[in-house]
Amino acid sequence: MNAINRLLLALGLAVTALPASADSVRPVTDPLTLQACGECHMAFQPAFLPARSWTRMMDGLADHFGDNAAMAADKAAHVRKVLVDGAADTGGGKVGAKVMRRLGPDATPLRITETPGFLRKHRLPASEWARPEVVTKSNCPACHVRAEKGDYED
């Protein structure tokens, strides 16, 4: 195989890989964060919300969407740092930049499912949301089976 053919092949492979990389986000790897968030729901990737949202979230754990998610102070501080460091506007990479671009400058959403970025990608018929295994819009892995690994390919 000559050099040009090899280059073309590499280019072709790179193009086919593009859609996958567009739908992936840096996963949560910190074990304490995975455990603390994952206790009740999937540990959502911090890149889906700006740092100010995570700060507000961690300030109000005693009323976490109506549930009590209080945890030991040192544990909460550790989780807060992981979330703030990986947030859309700090360490969120490409996905984070997209989230920030569509978000108002003062918006501090708490629900990922209410961010413009999420809504834009989830214009689905009500019957999809009504599937029994979905339960709630925040149950990413019900449809994106590898969501916890950061892979949101449909």
Partner 1 sequence: MTPRSTPARWEFLALRLWHAALAGGFVVAYVTADEDTYNMHVFSGYWVVTALALRLAMALAGSDRGPLGLPRPSLAAIRDKLAGKPGRNPLFVWMAALLLPALALGGLSGIVADLLPIAEDLHEGLAEAGLWLALAHAAIIAWIFQGRRIREVLAGRLARASLLALLAVLGAARVQAGEVFSAERGEALYRSVNAASPDFPSCATCHTADPTRPGRHAKTGRAILPMAVSANPKRFTDAAKVEERFERDCKTVLGRACTAQEKGDYITFLRGK
Interaction site with partner 1 (CB under 8 A): 38, 40-42, 65-72, 133-136, 138-139, 142
Integer angstrom CA distances of residue 71 from 26, 32, 111: 25, 12, 20
Integer angstrom CA distances of residue 50 from 7, 43, 97, 104, 109: 39, 16, 10, 11, 8
Determine the Cα–Cα distance for residues 57 and 26; give it in Å rounded to an integer: 20
Nearer Cβ to partner 1 (17/70): 70
Determine the Cα–Cα distance for residues 107 and 86; give it in Å rounded to an integer: 18
Task: Please count the other Cβ atoms lying within 10 Å of the Cβ belonging to residue 81.
Answer: 14
Which of the 8 DSSP states describes residue 12? Answer: H
CB of 117 to partner 1, least distance (A): 21
Nearer Cβ to partner 1 (44/96): 44
Nearer Cβ to partner 1 (14/40): 40
CB of 86 to partner 1, least distance (A): 21
CB of 68 to partner 1, least distance (A): 4
Nearer Cβ to partner 1 (89/148): 148
CB of 121 to partner 1, least distance (A): 20
